[in-house]
Chains A and B, each alone.
Chain A
C-alpha cells in the first residue's frame, strides 16, 4: 500500500526552519574518522534469566493489569509466540509456555560482564541498553584490518554465550540502529551509512512507544521519511533529544558517550555440565575461569593477590549444603594465571566435598600496582641484586649475621685450607682473584669439616666394612710454616656398599682418616 506523502507544513504553522545544509561527513574533521562496531544482543532478556527446565519459555513484563512478552526462545518462536504478544494470548497459543519476569539488573550485569571481556579490542567501550558499542578505529592496524578484528571478535563472542548481531558504522548510533534492525554489515563510508539508515524502520531507534505511535499515525515508516519532515516541527512533537539522536546517527552532531569503566574486581561463574565431586573435572572448570581471569589481567595490566573460589553444591533449594569457599592469598600480587591455576588445583586436591558441585564461582580483586613482568626484559642485574640483598638481610635477621656464607678457593695444597668461607657478595666480584694452581686429581663433592679417624683391619681402613683403595696415592706435604704441618697420602676408596670416599693416611702417626665423600 503506498503511503501518503505529506506536504511540508504538517507540524506547525511557522515558516520553515532553516534545515542545516547537508554537511560533508564529518562536520569537523577529526584526525581519524571513528569506526564503531555495535554488538546488539537480541536475546539479552532471555539470556539474563537462567532457564530452569527445557520447556519453551518467554520473558514478560507486567505493567498494572497488562503484561506482554519482550522475548521468546527459539522453541516458543517456532510455535508462533512472538515478542510483543500479550502474555494471555501467548499462553492460549502455547499452554506449556513458561513465563519468566524480566530482570533488568541481570541484563545490565550481563552487558557489563560482556564489556569487561571485550577490552582486548578497544579501551573505548560504551553501553546501550541492549548493546555494547566498541570504537575500534585505533585497533584496526593492530588486528590487521577490520575483517581480522571481526574474526577475533566473533570468536570471543562465541565463548561468551550470547547471540550477537554485529554492525559497523562511523557513528555509534548508526551502528546501533543498523544492528537492531538485523543488518550485520560494515558501512565505513558515511554515504553508504546514510543510505542504509534511510531504509531502516523507525522502531529500530528504540524510542518510547508514544513517539513511535505518533510516527505510525502520520505514516512515517522509515528513517528516510522521518528525515524529510521539517526539523522544527519534529523537535516540537518528538522533543529535541530524539532529533539529536537522529543527527548523531547521521554524523551531523557529535556523540557523547559515557565510557564503560571496567570493574576493579573479577567475578565469573561456570555451571558445570554435570554435577561432580571429581577433583580433575573441577580443576578443568577452574581452568576455564582462570583463563577468563587471565584475559582480564592482561587487559588491565593488573595482578591478583587474593582470590576466592566458591563451589556451589547441587541439591534442591533449602536442603542443599552450604557453599564450599576457598580463599587463596598470595604473598605478593602475581600476573601469572598458570600459577593461580596450579594453586587452585592444589587446594582442590585437599578438599573434602560434602556434596557434588554444580557451579564454580571465581572472584578476585585486581591489583593495579603489580609488576607486569616478574622478570625484566633485559637481564635484570639490578633488580635481582636488590632482591638478593633483601633476602640476605632477612636471613641474617632471623639466623644471625654469620649464618649466610659464600665460598672461595684459596691457594693452598692442604685440602682443608684450599677454600674459605667468605662474606656473601651480592654483586658479582670483579675477577676470579688469586686462584690456586689447578689440581689435577679429582676432588670429592663433600669435604668433612674435620677428618674422621677410621678403624683398621690388617693395616687397611674400614668404613661401613673394609675399604678398597684405588689408584696411586696423592701425597700432600705442606704447612710447616704456619704450624699446620701435614704429611698425608690421599686415596680414593670404595666401600662395600658401592659408595666411594676420600681417605688419607697420616704419614706421621700412620692412622687412617676419612676426609671426603665423592657424590
Chain B
C-alpha cells in the first residue's frame, strides 16, 4: 500500500527499510536546470562524490550550484546542516550568495592560505563529510591520489551530503573514483557548457546552460 507520508520519509532516509531498500537511494537536489536534471536523474545526487573539472577554478561552478545550495536550505528537513566551502579560489561574495537564496548563517568557509596544503583540503573535506553536520561540502583541490579520492568517495557515501570536488581541467585524463565527473567550460556565446563524461548511475552527455544574467 503506497502511503505518501511513508514514501516521503523513505525518500529522505528517515525510516529504515528492509531488504528492498538495499539498493542505495541518493537524494537528488534539483539543479533548477531541467536539461541538467534530466541528465543527472533528477538533480545533483547527495551522498556521491561529484568531480567538477574547470580551468581556471572559479569558472562557473559556484554559480551553477547556487540554486541547489539555496534549495538545501529551503527544502531540507534539517535546516541546521551547514554548507562548507573549502579553499575557494576567491571570496564567495556574500551579497551574491544572499541574492541566490543561500542563508549566510549556514555557510562556513575554510579560506585558502599558505598554511592550507593540498592534502589539508582533502582531509578537511573527508572530515566534514564524515561528521555528518554538513548538507553540502565543496572543495577546491588540485592533485589528489587515487586513494585519497577513494576515501572521499567513501566519506561521501556515508554522508548523505552534496559533495563536490573542483579540480583543474588537466585532471580529466586521470582515473578517478568519483561517481559523476563533469567538465565546465565557458562558451563564447556566454553560456556554460556542462559535459558529464562519467556517470556511474546514469547517462553521460553535454548540455549548454545559460546562467541567469549571462545573456550578452
Contacts and interface: CB of A to CB of B under 8 A. Distances in A.
B92 A379 contact: no
Interface in A498-515: 498-500
A308 interface: no
A497 B187 CA distance: 7
**Interface range on chain A: under 10, 10 to 19, 20 to 34, or 35 or more?**
35 or more
Contacts of A298: 16, 18
Contact of A445 (B22, B96, B113, B190): B96
B114 to A, nearest CB: 11
B14 to A, nearest CB: 6
Interface in B104-119: 104-111, 113, 115-116
A498 B187 contact: yes
Contacts of B131: 387-388, 390-391, 394
B22 A419 contact: no
B58 interface: yes
Contact of A338 (B15, B23, B108): B23
Contacts of A500: 190, 214
Nearest to B127: A394
Contact of B24 (A341, A379, A408, A421): A341
Q: Which of A381, A387, A418 has the most CB of B within 10 A?
A: A387
A388 B133 contact: yes
A338 B188 contact: no
Interface in A386-443: 387-388, 390-391, 394-395, 398-400, 403-409, 415, 418-419, 421, 424-425, 428-429, 436, 439, 442-443
Interface string A103-120: 000000000000000000
B115 to A, nearest CB: 6
Contacts of B91: 419, 446-449
Contacts of A343: 154, 157
Given A373-B16, A385-B80, A388-B82, A407 B157 contact: no
B142 interface: no
Interface residues of B, number: 75
A367 interface: no
A261 interface: no
A387 B177 CA distance: 27
A443 B107 CA distance: 18
A197 interface: no
A373 B9 CA distance: 12
Contacts of A517: 58, 90
Contacts of B77: 379
B24 A375 contact: no
Contacts of B109: 404-407, 421
Nearest to B117: A399
B22 A290 contact: yes
Interface stretch (A215-223, A327-335, A351-359): A327-335
Contacts of A499: 59, 186
Nearest to A408: B104
A497 to B, nearest CB: 6
A342 interface: yes
B108 to A, nearest CB: 5
Interface stretch (B28-36, B60-68, B162-170): B60-68
A398 B79 contact: no
A445 B154 contact: no
Contacts of B160: 374
Interface in B8-47: 13-16, 18-19, 21-25
B116 A403 contact: yes
Contacts of A27: none
A330 B158 contact: yes
B186 to A, nearest CB: 4
Contact of B80 (A409, A428, A445): A428
B161 to A, nearest CB: 12
A497 B190 CA distance: 8
A374 B131 CA distance: 11
Contacts of A384: 78, 80-81, 132-133
B98 A409 contact: yes
Interface string B76-103: 0111111000001111111111110000
Given A346-B154, A403-B115, A407-B109, A331 B18 contact: no
Interface in B170-216: 177, 186-192, 211, 213-214, 216
B120 A398 contact: yes
22 contacts: A335-B16, A341-B22, A343-B154, A375-B14, A380-B78, A380-B80, A384-B133, A387-B132, A388-B131, A399-B115, A399-B124, A403-B113, A405-B111, A407-B109, A419-B91, A428-B106, A442-B99, A446-B58, A446-B89, A446-B91, A446-B92, A519-B59
Given A377-B14, A399-B115, 14 more contacts: A287-B23, A290-B22, A291-B19, A338-B24, A339-B158, A346-B154, A381-B80, A388-B134, A428-B105, A442-B213, A445-B62, A494-B216, A518-B213, A519-B211
